[in-house]
A = this chain, B = another copy of it.
Amino acid sequence: MSGSTFGRWFAVTNFGESHGPAIGCVIDGCPPGMALSEADIQPDLDRRKPGTSRHVTQRQEGDRVEILSGVYEGQTTGTPIALLIRNEDQRSKDYGNLLDTFRPGHADYSYWRKYGLRDPRGGGRSSARLTAPMVAAGAVAKKWLQQQYGTTVRGCMVQLGEIEIPIEDWAQTAHNPFFAATQRGLPELEAYMDALRKSGDSVGAKLRVEAQGVPPGWGAPLFDKLDAQIAYAMMGINAVKGVEIGDGFGVVAQRGSLHGDELHPDGFASNHAGGVLGGISSGQDLVVSIAIKPTSSIRLEKASINRAGEPTTVVTHGRHDPCVGIRATPIAEAMLALVLMDAALEQRAQGADVCLPISPVPASRP
């Protein structure tokens, strides 16, 4: 197995290339009896899909998902759910001049060293397009988590290049192309992106993803710590270079007297931990931050070599996101949902009691 399956219990196997006939995934382990149709999945795909604003790639993809199996008369059957998305807008000619050259920052060189050949069309397997099936699978997980436990997942952008974006109103994330949780400063973001696009360059971003209503007890002590699985999921998203749980790198200069979240009869007094203690959920909100690198495809010239090892230069003229972080919020949400789904099933099998909760204890205090 070359690592194309995510999750142990709710196992999602991803397939496809950017410019092949189709992309998709197979979900093995979805419990039976949940109502499910394409309409549950499409909205999250639409949040991620290209071409929805001038700040993202203009590639036109309907990203229409088709459920091929695992659903009978509108209900999950407990058997694998195959989800198919046909590729539509495959303008491979955009990449024609890059067949022989290793684009800086891209996977061209490393893939070639691993496999001895590569599918150069749109990055092939390394394209962020492959996150679409995960967004689809994540939508299934989100629905189940919401129905079974009232657990919800949400995400927003908290920094675009040098501009920090405050979290003021989560509802706003649906009303601007940046997934900013605020109404303020949007014109500044628009202008920033317009200037960037004009410059031919790209920029990084920082996202926040959270889960609320996570029951205590999800995760496992050693390697499958809930936060370790989140780190694995997030770092597996294209272009992510850093992951933080709770206070993240802020803990380096903290004192233990500050960091340890006190417990009171009505809940935790703070959430420096970010919702995980010893790798297992505490019932506090899960808080995750990720750093996304600037898009490697830019219109500015960079030095490189070709397969013969000879020097050359690269300029990318195809349709690209000048900030891949802009469309990454639904992806990060989906990956968090997938981690939680897996942990929920693990707990059902191996936790203290699958039916009755342990005597009530405080969960979280805002």
Chain A 273-313 interface mask (CB, 8 Å, partner B; 1/0): 11011111111000000011111111010111100011100
Chain A 97-121 interface mask (CB, 8 Å, partner B; 1/0): 0000011111111111111111101
Is the CB of A175 closer than 8 A to any CB of chain B? no
Spot the interface stretch: A44-52, A55-63, A181-189, A257-265. Answer: A257-265
- Please indicate which of the listed interface residues A108, A204, A247, A273 has the most CB atoms of chain B within 10 Å of its own CB: A204
- Please indicate which of the listed interface residues A78, A222, A224, A253 has the most CB atoms of chain B within 10 Å of its own CB: A222
30 contacts between A and B (CB under 8 A): A3-B28, A3-B222, A8-B8, A9-B349, A15-B70, A15-B79, A31-B351, A32-B117, A32-B351, A32-B352, A77-B117, A79-B221, A105-B259, A105-B261, A105-B273, A106-B278, A110-B281, A113-B283, A114-B217, A114-B219, A116-B358, A159-B252, A201-B257, A223-B232, A241-B249, A243-B243, A244-B291, A263-B304, A346-B349, A348-B348
Q: In the bound complex, how far is the Cα of B233 from the Cα of A30, in angstroms?
A: 24
A162 to chain B, nearest CB (A): 5
Chain A 10-43 interface mask (CB, 8 Å, partner B; 1/0): 0101111100111110101101110000000000
Is the interface on chain A under 10, 10 to 19, 20 to 34, or 35 or more residues? 35 or more
The residue that A255 contacts in the complex, of B202, B228, B303, with Cβ under 8 A, is: B202
Instruction: Flag if A29 contacts B14 (CB, 8 Å).
Output: no
- List 20 other contacts, CB 8 Å, given A2-B80, A9-B350, A269-B303: A9-B349, A17-B79, A20-B69, A21-B66, A22-B68, A22-B82, A23-B69, A24-B68, A24-B82, A32-B117, A33-B117, A72-B121, A75-B117, A78-B114, A79-B221, A107-B277, A110-B219, A225-B235, A225-B236, A262-B302
CB-CB nearest 9 A-B residue pairs: A107-B278, A3-B224, A105-B260, A116-B352, A202-B256, A104-B260, A232-B232, A231-B235, A110-B280
Residues of chain B within 8 A (CB-CB) of A215 are 113
Instruction: Flag if A113 contacts B28 (CB, 8 Å).
Output: no
The residue that A111 contacts in the complex, of B109, B264, B280, with Cβ under 8 A, is: B280
Residues of chain B within 8 A (CB-CB) of A32 are 115-117, 351-352
Instruction: Flag if A78 contacts B294 (CB, 8 Å).
Output: no
| Identical chains in the assembly | 4
Is the CB of A4 closer than 8 A to any CB of chain B? yes
The residue that A206 contacts in the complex, of B20, B252, B261, with Cβ under 8 A, is: B252
The residue that A77 contacts in the complex, of B125, B220, B244, with Cβ under 8 A, is: B125
Is the CB of A126 closer than 8 A to any CB of chain B? yes
A119 to chain B, nearest CB (A): 4
Residues of chain B within 8 A (CB-CB) of A229 are 232
Is the CB of A180 closer than 8 A to any CB of chain B? no
Q: In the bound complex, how far is the Cα of B76 from the Cα of A16, in angstroms?
A: 12
Residues of chain B within 8 A (CB-CB) of A294 are 251, 254-256, 258-259
